[in-house]
Amino acid sequence: MRAPEQKTMGLLQRSFLDIAEQDGSLLQLAVVVDGTDSMAAELAGVRQSIVAMIDDLRRYRGDEIEVALVIYRDNGSPSGEVSIPLKTFSRDTDAIAKAVEQIVAESGAPFFHELADVGIHTTLSQLPWSSDPSASRWIMMFGDAPPYDETFSDAKFPTARRRYSTELLVALAARKSIRINCVLCTSDKDVSEPYAKAIDQTRTFMNSLASGTDGLMLDLSYPEIRDAIIDASHKPEPQYIAIDPITRGDLNTMSIASRPATEIVAAATSDKPITPPAPTATAEQAPADVRIAIVPHLPLAQMSFDPSDPAVQVSTALRNSFAGVPGVRVVSPIEIQKQLRRLRADNVSDDQQLRALAARLGVDYVIWGSLEPAGPTVQTAAYRRTDGSRVVQVSMKGEEQSLTRVLLSAASTSPLEKDGALGGLMKRIEKSVAASVLDEPLAKTVATRKEILAAIESLEQALGLPAGSKESLVLLKRAAASVTTVAAAESRNPLVSWLGSNIAYNLASYRFAAGESAAAEAQMAEMGLSLSRAYRGRREVKLPSLATEIEADYSLLVAHDVKVAIAGYELMTKPEQPSSTQRRGHWMLSGIYAGDWGVDESIVNPQAARQHLVEILANWPESPEADLLRKWMRWDDSAGKTKFSYLPIVNRQLAKIVPPDESQ
């Protein structure tokens, strides 16, 4: 069997919310259901789907949803060829629910084909459709069989014939601006043979209705689509909180350090180069954040992002070190990997790739070099985006834990860079705590240090991938294995415990979303234990921003002291904190004020949650968090606003199963 066309897979690839404009206007929805015996096994699921769909549309469109219901059957059915439990479009939830319960299977004749065309025509012609040009008008059809062929005739069943052509139905719907969406259901096992014989006719009929009216079609006859729907049904149903729409104007009002907020959409949706102008510092304005992309220290033609590769770990160490420095933003390895692939696909030459990479990422500098096995010797250099020139290069033997300090010190004295952003960075941080930890080793031994770097790289790559993807799960498992190895040797290392808690939480989230409750609970128990160990060792953490984050996470997830947690996350958002710390603080606060993480209702503050969401979208548009928010709230580029005014509550149930820290 050939793979389904893109249009056939529409509802799996595009939610109905994609076409349900959230503009406050009326949406009339006529649900049209096949009520014949062949649908008997499917109707319970159809009833549930109708209720869930209406709930989703109300969440998206507000109260401007009106529903009617039409059931078509066949010749000789006790309730007639067509029944209309809801003859007018209704907003009454109880009336709709009672009408949906009337969708039951009845017998008809003469054989598998049904009066689907009569059902659609009745819906188009007899319901009181609004003539308001601003209203949206939909039909949602559920069925498993086609209408009769136009040449069919049976003297025993004179009414069992094709009454209305597909072309007429499409034309009538188009004249009334009615969009027809179709779901091709599976049939009862007893009629599998006629179902299989008629499937091409059913598919053609439904696809013609959908395509001819700019509707969508979901074809459940394909096992891969059916399996995906079944998998989705096992996942926990998300809860939502109403959030006022976020507009481009909201983003523009946020003062950001690294780029204009108006570039949110470019960062979100475009492959075009992003070259934001750097704001000029004034006495009242802090210098712009320095944006850096750190590339694995391998030849470009042999580029790898394998977390266990020593040359990749050089970039991991640099990125981890830079990320703890206030005033620096580092690009995720996943984004670098993605852009390098695109550059190769565009046949950009090796000597132009670094400058092109910097332009596409919108960074000020690309840091890249090589790792020579002998010694080992690390050579690293910084390349300026504006002209592609190499402004500083350093070489050092042995462990690269001090490489960031060496590079920044060299930049501060380089003739090409001492007056540049990278050259001035050391002067900005030399009196801060961040400078004092640039040389701090991650672990006691070379072996454990490499495992920590492998865990950091694996976790960061996993967080840059879509949540729940198989690629993300593989990386999370690799990170967990590395942390387990290090913990056996350095059980009191708080960084290892903190990494372990993050990895365990993300594994728990993956398992929970997949409906694997027991596995999710086991991972959350491990998360609680690891976070408790990190908290007990927090005074050994040299980087204050990390110690603050550990305390805030522990207060929220283990001690369940939300007020203390809020104070910690608020501290993380202060301008003097590293950029990544600020972002994570805003992320956690947005969830807390939205009512996530199992917090009490008295804490919920949608406006405060929205403020932190705006901060993330405006100031970190390229981050995984911003990407997720744009998807959740359906950022629309042309409209310049979010089109879904709800935020999903995704951590509440997970947060409730963390055991308390008994050792305190």
Tokens at 412, concatenated: 């501060």
Whether residue 70 contacts residue 119, with contact meaning beta carbons closer than 8 Å, is answered with yes
Question: CA dist 247 to 79, 263, 408, 618, Å?
Answer: 51, 13, 39, 10
The CA-based diameter of the chain, rounded to the nearest angstrom, is 98
Closest CA to 556 of 586, 597, 520, 527: 597
Q: Is the pLDDT of residue 252 over 70?
A: yes
Task: Using the predicted structure, report yes or no on whether residue 572 has a pLDDT greater than 80.
Answer: yes
pLDDT tens figures, 584-621: 999 999 999 999 998 999 999 999 999 999 999 999 99
Q: Is the pLDDT of residue 260 over 50?
A: no
pLDDT at residue number 662: 55
Report the 3 state secondary structure along 236-247.
Answer: CCCEEEECCCCE
Contacts with 298 (C-beta within 8 Å, 6 or more apart), sequence order: 304, 309, 311, 312, 370, 371
Tens digit of each residue's pLDDT (9 = 90 or more) over 420-438: 899 888 877 776 666 666 7
pLDDT of residue 93: 86
8-state DSSP, 651: S
Q: What is the pLDDT of residues 507-565, one digit of tens each?
A: 998 888 777 888 999 999 999 999 999 999 999 988 889 999 999 999 999 999 999 99
Burial zone of 226 (CB within 10 Å; 0-12 exposed, 13-18 middle, 19+ buried): middle
* Distance between CA atoms of residues 30 and 602, nearest Å: 40
Note the pTM of the prediction, 2 decimals: 0.72
pLDDT tens digits, 469-485: 889 999 999 999 999 99
Taking each helix axis from N to C end, the angle separating 606-619 and 579-593, rounded to the nearest 10 degrees, works out to 150
Mean pLDDT of the chain: 83
| 221 compared with 174, residue with greater pLDDT | 174
Write out the two tokens for 647: 């935020």
Cα gap 588→564, rounded to integer Å: 13
Q: DSSP 3-state assignment of 165?
A: coil
Go through the domains of the chain in sequence order and give each one's CATH number. 10-234 (3.40.50.410), 238-286+572-664 (no CATH), 287-436 (3.40.50.10610), 441-541 (no CATH)
pLDDT of residue 58: 79
Q: How many Å apart are CA 622 and CA 620, to the nearest integer?
A: 6
Contacts for 108 with CB less than 8 Å, ≥ 6 apart: 36, 37, 73, 74, 75, 76, 77, 114
DSSP SS3 for 648: strand
Using DSSP, state whether 183 is helix, strand or coil: strand
pLDDT at 400 over 80: no
Would you say residue 106 has pLDDT above 60? yes
Spatial separation of the C-alpha atoms in residues 603 and 352, rounded to whole Å: 52
pLDDT band at 225; cut points 50, 70, 90: low
More confident residue, 657 or 231: 657
107 vs 632: CA distance, rounded Å: 43
Residue 76 is predicted with a pLDDT of 74
- Band the pLDDT of 276: cuts 50, 70, 90: very low
**Cα angle for residues 385, 386, 392 (degrees, 5° grid):** 60
For residue 277, the model assigns a pLDDT of: 37
pLDDT of residue 206: 92
Q: Residue 104, SS3?
A: coil
Amino acid at 511: R
d(CA 265, CA 406): 37
> 10: part of which helix (H) or strand (E)?
helix 10-13
- Site of tokens 């799960």: 473
Tell me the mean pLDDT in the region 200-229.
80
Question: Cα–Cα distance between 653 and 511 in angstroms, integer?
Answer: 13
Query: HSE-up of 136 (CA within 13 Å, CB side)?
Result: 25
Residue 636 backbone phi and psi in degrees, to 5:
-110, 115
Highest mean pLDDT among 61-75, 105-119, 404-418, 585-599: 585-599
Residue 72 in tokens: 């078509």
Mean pLDDT over 67-76 rounds to 88
Q: What is the pLDDT of residues 345-354, one digit of tens each?
A: 899 988 889 9
**pLDDT more than 90, % of the chain:** 45
pLDDT at 44: 81
Residue, of 134 and 294, whose pLDDT is higher = 294
Rounded Cα–Cα distance for residues 620 and 629 (Å): 11
pLDDT recorded at residue 583: 95
User: What is the per-residue pLDDT for 9?
Assistant: 29
The CA distances from residue 572 to 537, 583, 612, in Å, are: 19, 8, 12
